[in-house]
Structure 1
Amino acid sequence: MTSFGITNGPAPARLTVGIVSAGRVGTAVGAALERVGHVVVACSAVSEASRARARTRLRESEVLPVDQVAGKVELLVLAVPDTELSALVAGLAATDAVGPGTIVVHTSGANGIGILAPLAAKGALPLAVHPAMTFTGHDEDTARLSSACFGITAADDIGYAIAQSLVLEIGGEPVRVAEGMRPLYHAALAHGSNHLVTLVADAVQALRVALEGQELLGQELVGDEPGGVAERVISPLLTAALDNVLRRGPSALTGPVSRGDVEAVSTHLKSLSDVDPRIAEGYRALSLRSAQRVRADQDMIDLLGTRTDMKSGGESCE
């Protein structure tokens, strides 16, 4: 096994790397490692989309079955969906595909190193290294890795030193996450990123209804495709709100809930219900959480504590 230098020590040794599999995450991580001198010698790719990514982003990598990828490398990156990781690890352990001393990294946010226990028992060095970003499958993914934080979990100081070095090499920021905190870490990221997408999509849908048919002479029509008038209207507001909360915390909260304007919030709920009761329900739930944060008056809490009944077309029920 090639030795691996740690931070502030000798330059890290160049490692032979294998990627399982050549999806969006795997190819981005592989390309990032190659940029700093490691060599992705093999990857697995089953679907045609994965094979195309491998050809485009990991040009020097040989496409091989999973067990052969594992047997050729010093650093094995398991970049598969969370639901597939346990079975993959069990299969690799059962076939003795991973040699002792191999650094095995998975990129799952929800899991720590416990899921790699079958390989650790065979002498592998287990690491959980999760890039806290979303992936598109394009070249910008690799560039974004250089400014992303990575949640790292290891079994000991040696493991943490290696994980830290790998992340720092590609320009990322390593953040230690305790084994028992991985589910909470993942929940927080999913809550923020995934639900932001749903929130913005709902807001854009309602805004399109509000703007449709009111276009000025020569102005593009309000349509359903992304990047239109509605998105341009709301984009500066969203950008400012996100920047404010990240820099100033919950004090950045503005709007009718924070002002205690029960009448405005009630009107919002009715207007959104006319568009889609499900959007109104999302607004109600988030407004209630906002009201709790600002310790709103009971009148506001009472209004927002009334759920929208989806089955009855938007009528409320206690």
Structure 2
Amino acid sequence: MNRDGRLGVGVIGAGRVGPVIAAALAGAGHALVGITPGSDPDRVDAILHGVPVIDAAEVARRSELVVIAVPHGELAGLVAGLAELGAWQPGQLVLHTDPGYGTEVLAPAQARGAIPLAVHPAITFTGTTIDLRQLSASYAAVTAPAAVLPIAQALAVEMGCEPVVVREADRPAYAEAIATATEFSRSIIGQATGILAGIGVENPGGYLSALVRSTIDDALTRADPRGAVPPVLGDTIDG
């Protein structure tokens, strides 16, 4: 780590998440050393103009902090593969953004001296600069060994998030909660807009926009800290 606390950051994963996380960390003063190729280079360049595009092994070799933002099914194999190539460096920080894993998935990197961190910002990424504003109003699940937990929390803050510690053993349950919230919301909204379109309502998404947002805000306000589901039937009609 540099004396001023600034890091050379490399990103593995150029989908919707990686470039936005990189931009957030760059905004906090860190230097971007490279990102792996993606399927939409124009979008990535719009967010990270001029950042070198290099392969994953080179990202790992050059970086003091490696951010891994790849699909869930690819993460374990990627980490292990880079370990076999000798790409991980002693003392470097390796951070992944997957909700379903803690730091155990980073064990091959840790075995070679890297410091494992798991930080999942709880937003739905669009892959655009809009996400930077969303990050500033969001939370992030943070999992790390106790000795380096403050580093993970500090990086979450630098991304714009409020860190919330999630234990390693609780990451599967955390991932289930995230999946329930996102997938159920998409399914229900898709069903409702389909019904409205079927009866001739133009722009059904726009029609439901205020209703859905206000209903979700109300549900979040009513949410029981113990996880109980609040009664809501009829609330949007009868007040």
* Alignment pair present for 1:170 and 2:149: no
Contact 1:24 1:137 (8 Å CA) reproduced:
yes
Tell me, in whole angstroms, the C-alpha distance in 2 between the residues paired with 1:77 and 1:129: 10
Offset from partner CA, 1:69-95 (integer Å, 9 cap, x none): 111110000111111101100111111
* Alignment pair present for 1:44 and 2:36: yes
Alignment of 1:99-248 (within 5 A): 99-156=89-146, 158-210=147-199, 212=200, 222-223=201-202, 228=203, 230-248=204-222
Contact 1:23 1:53 (8 Å CA) reproduced:
no
Identity in percent: 39
Contact 1:132 1:148 (8 Å CA) reproduced:
yes
* Alignment pair present for 1:14 and 2:6: yes
Question: Could you say which residue in structure 1 is the equivalent of 2:234?
Answer: 255
Unmatched 5+ residue regions in structure 1? 4-11, 213-221, 260-318
Tell me, in whole angstroms, the C-alpha distance in 1 between the residues paired with 2:16 and 2:32: 15
Tell me, in whole angstroms, the C-alpha distance in 2 between the residues paired with 1:151 and 1:195: 20
Tell me, in whole angstroms, the C-alpha distance in 2 between the residues paired with 1:127 and 1:253: 39
Contact 2:35 2:54 (8 Å CA) reproduced:
yes
Question: Could you say which residue in structure 1 is the equivalent of 2:26?
Answer: 34
Aligned-partner SS, 1:206: helix
Number of residue pairs matched by the alignment: 231
| Structure with max Cα Rg | 1
Tell me, in whole angstroms, the C-alpha distance in 2 between the residues paired with 1:96 and 1:62: 21
Structure 2 length-normalised TM: 0.91
Question: Could you say which residue in structure 1 is the equivalent of 2:69?
Answer: 79
Tell me, in whole angstroms, the C-alpha distance in 2 between the residues paired with 1:172 and 1:29: 11
Offset from partner CA, 1:259-281 (integer Å, 9 cap, x none): 9xxxxxxxxxxxxxxxxxxxxxx
Cα deviation for residue 252 of structure 1 reads 4.9
Tell me, in whole angstroms, the C-alpha distance in 1 between the residues paired with 2:51 and 2:205: 40
Task: From the superposition, tell whether residues 104 and 254 of structure 1 become closer, same or farther in structure 2 (CA, over 3 Å).
Answer: same
Offset from partner CA, 1:1-38 (integer Å, 9 cap, x none): 436xxxxxxxx611000000222100000000001100
Cα deviation for residue 240 of structure 1 reads 2.2
Cα deviation for residue 68 of structure 1 reads 0.8
Aligned-partner SS, 1:111: coil
Paired amino acid for 1:199:
I
Alignment of 1:44-63 (within 5 A): 44-47=36-39, 49=40, 51-63=41-53
Cα deviation for residue 59 of structure 1 reads 1.7
Aligned-partner SS, 2:2: coil
CA RMSD of aligned residues (A): 1.8
Offset from partner CA, 1:177-207 (integer Å, 9 cap, x none): 1101101101111101121011011011112
Tell me, in whole angstroms, the C-alpha distance in 2 between the residues paired with 1:110 and 1:151: 10
Unmatched 5+ residue regions in structure 2? 224-228
